[in-house]
Structure 1
Amino acid sequence: MIRNYTNDCDIKCSLKSCNTFPTITDSERGEVFCGNCGTVLLEKISELTHENNRNNQEEFMKLTRTGPATSLTMHDRGLSTTIGINKDATGKALPSKTKYEFNRLRAWDQRSKSRSTFALSKAFTLMNAMKGKLVIPENIVEAAAHTYRKVVNAKITRGRTIASLVSASLYAACRENNIPRTLEDIAKAGNVEKSIISRDFRTIVKKLELNVTQYNTTSFISKISNDMKLKEKTKRDAFDILKRCEKENMTAGKHPVALAAASLRIACTINGEKVSQRKISMASGISDVTIRNRSALIRKMLKINI
């Protein structure tokens, strides 16, 4: 007898001789069967893929089977019901009586939502706005949304603003995936003070036990040089200078962005590329004094005469 299982169930054949054989999935027939005896273990598998890569809304409504993909960046994960415009399936306007009923249903649908739903909606709206300002990939925003949901479940939101927690979650996601975005960039995009984001970030890392590593300094060299449109030779020389600094154990305890900016400053001087220290400071967000001090230290330790 064929049994129906949930997707989370670990499906195995009941015969002992089949324990070492894998199961085979037939996506066309929607069945899972044993790789040894051929017994059908699961039938009527629900479709988990999404076909939302359509050119326009009309093609999507005609050809899609499963609807749009769910996302953690939406407060309801894209699963809630939305009462749309006052038109029927053929595009004709609804009668006045029916329109009044749907307006009442729409109003009660909004009123029935909990405060947590409104808070999540506000937080993810802000997160999507910051994504455009910071030019962050979609997978990083998904990771940040996942972190923020864990923050809400851990009840860390009391006494803290939504903007600061969203900014701290984005910074944590960037750190985990080595996306070069500094605290200054996050603070500017979220309109939150840097010290507040730093405080909330430390709290999130401690409470959620996140495994956050230090940034790779080379990623900041690429970011700064691309923003300033420097030559490829200058970028490669900056990489070499940074590698020599790592061999001399000069990077420990130093700000990674400051080291990247100083390496680029020295590489520009070596290659005769006329870039002022002020421009590098504005592109990296590091003060002129810090860049000057780090450049002097690198030249002294590596014995670079320029």
Structure 2
Amino acid sequence: MVENYSNDYDVKCKLDACKTYPAITDSERGEIVCGGCGLILVQNLADASYENNGYTQEDFMKQARTGPATSLTMFDKGLSTVIGSNKDSSGNALPSKTKYEFNRLRTWDQRSKSRKTATLSKAFTLLHSMKTKLSVPDNVVENAAYIYRKIVSAKLTRGRTMASLISASLYAACRENNIPRTLDDIAKAGNVERRILSRDLRTIIKKLGLNLNQYDTASFISKISNNMNLKETTKRGAFDILKRCEEEGITAGKHPVAQAAASLYISCVLNGERVSQKRVSVEAGVSDVTIRNRTVLIKKILKLDE
């Protein structure tokens, strides 16, 4: 069926004689042609038509012609060939000869997959397990899968473990999306050494040219306070202390997690909430000596009285 020109595609014929003629959209051929000379202006249009309404499972299975959305977190992006069970469309068992042929097809389908495909499958399985442990959003996992595919394409996997590269990709994705996860959190979830993770992270940042933003220190205050079930008043007081520290310029060059933990500890003391430095250090993942030093500096500069 030939429809009138839609404004979704702003195309016009360049001939002067065709300026008065409209462009015509041919949905069956997926083309936009000039109404004057017949010149094809656009080819391979995407089919934006809607599916027929199906209110039962049977109608949906008959009328639906599209599958789930593709995802970078799947080794085949969700476009794999799946050879089902040994039953036909009616649910009846296949004859023995046909069943043997389908078994051979499954075997050759499995053998025809490249080594890269098998490696991606294992890597993304690990990525999904780390997603569950760290409770990161889906968009961060998609970004991590994209970074890991770039690592594989750049041939940076030689001499490096898959777990370390997946962990480094996830940490880089968290940094890009400002999701507060430290190197220690990622290393623990991926079961890799922090030293190796840090080394591989520096490599992929240099080779891939990644530009990772610094974490927002305030996000670590929310994370630590939620894990410790602190009062909302204490959390807001920590935000105010951190804001005053930034105004005084004493946060530059300091570890953001340690700065957030020190601000939160001072707020706990000022609001009468009994929390030890040891407990804050355990939740934050930094030493209590670091928190003590940051606390002394903040109290001195801001002139806070307990």
TM-score between the two structures when normalised by the length of structure 2: 0.85
2:194, 2:56 → 1: CA distance?
A: 42
Displacement of 1:43 in angstroms is 7.5
| 1:14 corresponds to | 13
Amino acid at match of 1:254: K
| 3-state SS of 1:47 partner | coil
Q: 1:237 and 1:46, CA in 2 relative to 1: closer, same or farther beyond 3 A?
A: same
- Structure 1 runs not aligned, ≥5 long: 3-9
Deviations 1:194-233 (A, max 9, x none): 1111111111111011111110100111111111121111
Whether contact under 8 Å (2:13, 2:41) holds in the other structure is no
Whether contact under 8 Å (1:47, 1:66) holds in the other structure is no
Larger radius of gyration: 2
| 1:205 corresponds to | 205
| 2:85 corresponds to | 85
RMSD of equivalent CA atoms? 3.1
Displacement of 1:167 in angstroms is 0.3
Deviations 1:215-271 (A, max 9, x none): 010011111111112111111110110011111111111110011111110111111
Report sequence identity in percent: 67
TM-score between the two structures when normalised by the length of structure 1: 0.85
Deviations 1:164-201 (A, max 9, x none): 00000000000011110000110011000111111111
Whether contact under 8 Å (1:49, 1:66) holds in the other structure is no
Q: 1:284 and 1:74, CA in 2 relative to 1: closer, same or farther beyond 3 A?
A: same
* Counterparts of residues 274-293 of structure 1 (less than 5 Å): 274-293=274-293
Q: 1:67 and 1:304, CA in 2 relative to 1: closer, same or farther beyond 3 A?
A: same
Whether contact under 8 Å (1:145, 1:169) holds in the other structure is yes
1:250, 1:24 → 2: CA distance?
A: 65
Q: 1:304 and 1:89, CA in 2 relative to 1: closer, same or farther beyond 3 A?
A: same
Deviations 1:108-132 (A, max 9, x none): 1111111111111111111111111
Whether contact under 8 Å (1:74, 1:124) holds in the other structure is yes
| 1:65 corresponds to | 65
1:241, 1:60 → 2: CA distance?
A: 57
Displacement of 1:57 in angstroms is 7.7
| 1:252 corresponds to | 252
Displacement of 1:101 in angstroms is 1.3
| 1:6 corresponds to | none
2:218, 2:268 → 1: CA distance?
A: 16
* Counterparts of residues 266-281 of structure 1 (less than 5 Å): 266-281=266-281
| 1:224 corresponds to | 224
Amino acid at match of 1:126: L
1:55, 1:189 → 2: CA distance?
A: 43
2:162, 2:121 → 1: CA distance?
A: 11
| 3-state SS of 1:46 partner | coil
1:58, 1:183 → 2: CA distance?
A: 49
Whether contact under 8 Å (1:11, 1:41) holds in the other structure is no
* Counterparts of residues 38-187 of structure 1 (less than 5 Å): 41-42=41-42, 45-47=45-47, 61-187=61-187
Whether contact under 8 Å (1:277, 1:288) holds in the other structure is yes
